[in-house]
Chain A
Amino acid sequence: MKLLLKDGTIFEGKSFGAAFDAAGEVVFNTGMVGYPESLTDPSYAGQILVLTYPLVGNYGVPSFAKASKGKPDSPFESNKVQIAGLVVSEYSEKYSHRQAKQSLSEWLKKSGVPAMTGVDTRALTKRLREHGVLLGELVHSGKPKGFVDPNEENLVARVNPKRKKVYKGGKTRIIAVDCGMKENIVRSLVARGATVIRVPWDYDFNKEKYDGLLLSNGPGDPTMCSKTIENIRTAMKKNKPILGVCLGNQLLALAAGASTYKLKYGHRSQNQPCLDISSRRCYITSQNHGYAVDGKSLPTGWEEWFVNANDGSNEGIRHKSKPWRSAQFHPEASPGPTDTAWIFDEFIASLKK
């Protein structure tokens, strides 16, 4: 099969996924572990994912425990494979792990997601780095159907749940606005004793009773979520604590009046160093985003919380006096390092006050 890029480049390889064609935005992730987590991350909706680590599938795929009795899905980040397609250098035919129940190939086939192996993923990655993200199409045989830019669609509306859902925990009530939320955000909050009320992206949560507001991660261009941004602006009048994660960082910034822009090729990895501006402490973070907040556009009263130690881009914002803050990276990790889990601790602590 083939991967066609919009700049005319063609990469050939062997199929190990579903026998479908798929179009989307081609992005790369440099993490060395965690393909089941990445593949189910709703933020990848509409994207053809290139994994730079060459060996994929080594430990198979664990069994999928469907959400039950108000518990989050486990151990994945959502209930299905979210990516449009997968490209790797070498798919590992044989897998070995105590938790593995099926091979990656079987899982992708069942999920209807195409995948290609035998690609010089480093060459592909360098192309994406130099040109910026490109549209691409995975074609098995026959004629290509044409490129599709997923960012022109409201991807959030595509991936987010249609109904409200409550995860019972303690007294502290958190509204989690699900724009394509990773399950581990829910797990992280529930594990810290909170009751999580998970609502769709356009749900008017201002009529709900809650102690804190969480704005989740999600795919695509944040400006598509104008309804969410409006709801956040309304919520701000209540002065309740707000925590944004990833897309949530961009939504909070937009609600505050700042602007966002599209990065050349995004941050998708588990080794992004983020500097806390006030403490000068540097954290290794897990990331998956193509858009970023323009730190310079922050209005009075707001400041940058974190910046990327490599390229200086914004990695988090906070209000100088009100309990509102957000991180561009993923404190819930999964996949990736757990160094910034303290952000949830602090958020929960601020609600209990």
Chain B
Amino acid sequence: MIMKKPKKVLILGSGGLKIGQAGEFDYSGSQAIKALKEEGVKVVLINPNIATIQTDEKLADTVYFLPLTEHFATQVIKKERPDSILLSFGGQTALNLGLALEKGGVLKKYKVRVLGTPVSTIRDTEDRDFFVRRLKEIGVSTPRSHAASNIRNALKAAEEIGYPVMVRAGFALGGEGSGVVRDAKTLAEKLKEVFRSTPQVLIEEYVGGWKEIEYEVVRDRADNCITVCNMENIDPMGIHTGESMVVAPSQTLTNEEYHRLREIAIRVVRHLGVVGECNIQYALHPKTGDYRVIEVNARLSRSSALASKATGYPLAFVAAKLALGYTLPELKNSVTQTTTACFEPALDYLVLKLPRWDLTKFEHAAPRIGTEMKSVGEVMAVGRSFEEVLQKALRMLATPLDKKYLTGQVGAYLEEIKHPTTNRLFAIFGALRKNVSVKKLHALSGIDPWFLEKMKNIVKFEQALSRRRLDSAALRKAKQLGFSDVQIATSKHSTPDKIRALRKKYGVLPAIKQIDTLAGEFPAKTNYLYLTYHGEEHDVVPAKRSAVVLGSGPYAIGSSVEFDWSGVQALQTLSERKYQTIMVNYNPETVSTDYDMSDRLYFEELSLERVLDIIEFERPKGVVVSTGGQIPNNLALPLHRHGARIFGTHPTNIDRAENRHTFSKLLDKLNVDQPPWAELRTLPSALKAAERIGYPVLVRPSYVLSGAAMSVAINRESLAKYLKRATDVSPEHPVVISKFIENAREIEIDGVAAKGKLMVYAITEHIENAGTHSGDATVVLPPQRTYLETIRRAKDITKQIIRKLKITGPFNIQFIAKDNRLQVIECNVRASRSFPFVSKVTGYNFIDIATRAMLGENVAGRYRTLDLDHIAVKSPQFSYGRIKGADPTSRVEMASTGEVACFGDTFGEALLKSMMAAGFRLPKSRRSGRDPDRASRASGNNILLSIGGEESKLKLLASVETLAGMGFRIHATENTADFFAEHGITCDKVWKISSKREPSVLHLIENGKVDLIVNIPTRAFERENTDGFMIRRKAVDMNIPLITNRQLAEAFVTALAEQRGNGLKTKSWAEYRAVV
């Protein structure tokens, strides 16, 4: 290493989790911080994602919970004066921000050096024209493409490229008009239409159906260059890699293909001059072997996180070291600790990634998959046969199988295979069960027959199993093909316990294998493990004095990085207490699955069967089930019944809280109020109960997280409709109907108890009224509007519940407050989504306290959590832009994919920063003093209001007056405009779409001059007229800030008025806490 080592480095994070940019950047960022700190380099981090591990106290030296905007980044640079910056560890957000800072001259002005891949290289990979040109310089092929501005030129271009061609219309249309065209006649017809609305189209070579192959490449500044992993997308080109089933290493490539693409990857990366890590994607023609380079991502990506977990090679850590100036041969392989980091992992297993979708959470969302990413998470299965990893991965998704894929029609399956939906894989299985040939499935899906044959193996065995005697050979075969005991039991009309006992009798047991990066060639020092039935001996012996922490499973709506944070905190506390820590998780986007977070990592299923396999082998002192959300929580009782020791609250008491009947009885006994409810199994009884309780009612299945299939029914018809959906989700559990209380506020208590006594708690308050899911709510700590008396009563109720359930460990209780009534709506005897938030805001690590309590330590103390000198606001991060057609308004079902939080000296400051951190741009009024963010659009000062219902209009009157007073030009839809005009506020009236008159609201929005849209539906849970939906959807598609909740609108306007000209402060986390 000759390069001068930096002293202080700024790392840009990736912000709230959203589709396309999820938890993987917590992994890459935290690895980078560790790599830097090991070298004595000071690290400054900007990331408003408070639930990340990278923003923990123990990692970066200084953390800023601030929006990732040019304005705030510049302020931080000015204040901290870092000598260097890392751009490639925070996804596209960080990369774009870095490019903007460079372009704006900020980096130059403050003498900040970009470490790793130079900005010029990043530009070459981000700009399509540059990219194609640079690759052409070294004779590397990219899909051929020509721009055309008339039909004649377009036809000429298409002729040259050869049909079919891909037509891409201008960006303004949002992809409309794009598509595959197979002949000249169709092209001419299509273009006639397209050219009416766009001046230019791109005619591109069509590579749909080609194999999609990726390589992860690492290069140092001395030009050493390696490929750490290659991956094959089972879904061929045409489906985004984030939506694809991906296997590593590639399965259908020959040596020639594998190494030809590898050689090109290295040639490209050297020519571009990447220093660190990058990803290169290819299309490979299945019949000719011809290739095209699709793109290069000159940064850590989702694929690199997957590659890192798939191989055990710590890509982010090494990339950070290379950015500091190290060369690859100077670094050690962290897994063996003896061999060099300059090598390419050899796998003696394979991994499969499946995407996790949650589209059912969005009404109107199309289930089609294609070139845009819609998945919210992923799972990774490790094994030694394709059948084994496929069946593991399917179970890991933790989504119940829709029965229509067992009993449906071939025609429907084939349709879904040809025009892929999120259920394509299930449709393939459905078709195979009906004896559709592999050849036909290949023709429809483009999926290589090799994979389809393996799927067929599973189906064939499944069909044979029911007829076959379950002897030792059959059992072994079933397990090697990845069947679970539950599946076998279902097929043989037996129980999983009986199958388990039978397996033990026959000695059909899984083997524990290490992922060692070198396929057994050298001994591994770290224990990165998986279980397989293709093995006879274990690689390890049981750990001594161990403790197991169960992870959270895949990221999905409602189960996100917060639970990864909690799991990691538990590991750290257990490790400090000298336990050998064991993590079980299978989500490749997490920090908990990093090689250095636990003594042993089982990259395995969180099923009763698999966790028992692990526990029976390891014989741990106990299992932590309360830090990973609902998946491990649901295992508490079954594990206990099978003899596992659960740390903390007794599993029967966890169950008492989970079971609505027992919990409700408990509340009654305590004289604690709760909304009236009923549990029902049939439609008629449900309808009857709803009449008794009175509409509107809330409907949901018994066991829920993130309001799965939760809905509000306003009358008989809507109840009947929703019930159908709810029962589909959870067939084993009946539905619960409860009174939906309108115009009430929600407060939550997160806390830790020990032996039934309250140790520490934090009380948070929602800005939005009840009706917005707690995961979608804007949350304030400490509470601003809740009376001390209410807090006292909430605390009192909490203490009673804790005592009754003898809670030891984390818990969360949700209350509804209306008039002077306090009602309990939910109690979770586990860490909730808000644990990282309350921990970081109050300064007390709730999970550390909870873990110590579970170990039996005395954790009593004086914790100051109410009287803080700062205020923090947590805002939801939505991904509506990615979910075409979804209605961007919050309901009782959770829809946000992530969250952010910011601190402030006042509520208003914290709120504005937090909203900005979630991607909200502040509208700029004519009279406002300073522009808080230069990136915001220049024109400005237009606000559009469309407010449903008399009550909301009245309540917002003061706010609208304030906005008018601030010099904003107010536009409003018909009724809204009339109402405010009557109250003396001048508005420009625009007509609703249904009125078909100009100036129409759509026209106004499409002009791009509106800075903020406030659209309040009459009743959030009612199916709205199309106007409101169109306005909201347009706002999302045009990327215009949108508020759809009245309480939030009021709070926002107050904050905006209060903050005017005041500036939003650039204070670090430590500076806020120093006052405490």
Contacts and interface: CB of A to CB of B under 8 A. Distances in A.
B522 to A, nearest CB: 7
B254 A97 contact: yes
B43 interface: no
Interface in A233-284: 269-273, 275, 280-282, 284
Interface string B252-277: 11111011001100100000000000
B535 interface: yes
Interface stretch (A30-38, A217-225, A292-300): A30-38
Contacts of B343: 271-273, 284, 309-310
B224 A94 contact: no
B346 interface: yes
A97 B252 contact: yes
B65 to A, nearest CB: 41
Given A34-B255, A120-B537, A280-B222, A273 B450 contact: no
B675 interface: no
Interface string B239-252: 00000000001111
B315 interface: no
A30 B518 contact: yes
A80 interface: no
Contacts of B250: 33
Given A75-B256, A121-B348, A125-B348, A273 B249 contact: no
A191 interface: no
A55 interface: yes
Given A120-B511, A309-B340, A336 B259 contact: yes
Interface string A4-45: 000000000000000000000000101111101100000000
Interface in B430-450: 448-450
B520 A273 contact: no
A99 B350 contact: no
A10 to B, nearest CB: 11
A120 B255 contact: no
B855 to A, nearest CB: 36
Nearest to A54: B384
Nearest to A121: B348
Nearest to B250: A33
Contact of B346 (A30, A37, A58, A120): A30
Given A92-B450, A94-B450, A269-B521, A284 B344 contact: yes
A209 interface: no
Contacts of B346: 30-32, 52-53, 269-271
A31 B259 CA distance: 12
Contacts of B471: none
A30 B252 contact: no
B520 A122 contact: yes
Interface in A44-71: 52-55, 58-59, 62
B347 interface: yes
A37 B255 contact: yes
A336 B256 CA distance: 9
A6 B431 CA distance: 50
B513 interface: yes
B539 A98 contact: no
A126 B1000 CA distance: 74
Given A54-B349, A123-B537, A30 B255 contact: no
Interface string B534-553: 11110100000000000000
A192 to B, nearest CB: 16
Interface in B508-539: 511, 513, 518-523, 534-537, 539
A338 B267 CA distance: 11
Contacts of A338: 259, 262-263
A71 to B, nearest CB: 17
B539 A122 contact: yes
B519 A52 contact: yes
B252 A96 contact: yes
Q: How large is the interface on B (under 10, 10 to 19, 20 to 34, 35 or more residues)?
A: 35 or more
A37 B256 CA distance: 10
A95 B450 contact: yes
A270 B346 CA distance: 8
Given A32-B249, A309-B329, A335-B255, A94 B342 contact: no
B74 interface: no
B289 interface: yes
Interface in B342-381: 342-350
A89 B450 CA distance: 17
B385 interface: yes
Interface string A75-106: 10000000000000110111111110000000
A75 B385 CA distance: 28
Contacts, number: 161
A337 interface: yes
A185 interface: no
Given A53-B348, A55-B386, A123 B535 contact: yes
B454 to A, nearest CB: 8
A333 interface: yes
B246 to A, nearest CB: 16
Nearest to B348: A52
Contacts of A337: 259, 262-263, 344
Contacts of B254: 33-34, 36, 59, 62, 97, 99
B450 A280 contact: no
B251 A282 contact: no
Given A98-B287, A282-B328, A55 B251 contact: yes
A109 interface: no
B453 A310 contact: no
Interface in B210-247: 222-224, 226
A310 B340 contact: yes
B535 A120 contact: yes
A326 interface: no
B327 interface: yes
A284 B539 CA distance: 27
B339 interface: yes
Contact of B520 (A28, A37, A280): A28
A122 B521 CA distance: 10
A58 B249 CA distance: 12
Contacts of B535: 120, 122-123
Nearest to B346: A30
B923 to A, nearest CB: 55
Contact of B521 (A36, A54, A129, A282): A129
Contacts of A58: 251-252, 450
Contacts of B266: 339
Nearest to B266: A339
Interface string A314-353: 0000000000000000000111111100000000000000
B249 A52 contact: no
Contacts of B496: none
A129 B516 CA distance: 14
Nearest to B262: A337
A126 B340 contact: no
Contacts of B256: 75
Contacts of A53: 249, 346-348, 519
A127 to B, nearest CB: 10
A33 B253 contact: yes
B347 A32 contact: yes
Given A33-B254, A122-B348, A282 B329 contact: yes
B251 to A, nearest CB: 5
28 contacts: A33-B255, A52-B520, A55-B386, A59-B254, A92-B450, A96-B448, A98-B288, A120-B534, A120-B535, A122-B519, A270-B346, A271-B344, A271-B518, A273-B343, A280-B222, A280-B329, A281-B222, A281-B223, A282-B340, A282-B342, A284-B343, A284-B344, A309-B329, A310-B339, A333-B259, A336-B259, A338-B263, A339-B266
Interface of B: 222-224, 226, 249-256, 258-259, 262-263, 266, 286-289, 327-329, 338-340, 342-350, 384-386, 448-450, 453-454, 511, 513, 518-523, 534-537, 539
Given A32-B346, A53-B348, A96-B453, 11 more contacts: A32-B249, A32-B258, A33-B255, A52-B520, A53-B519, A54-B349, A59-B252, A59-B253, A62-B254, A335-B259, A338-B263
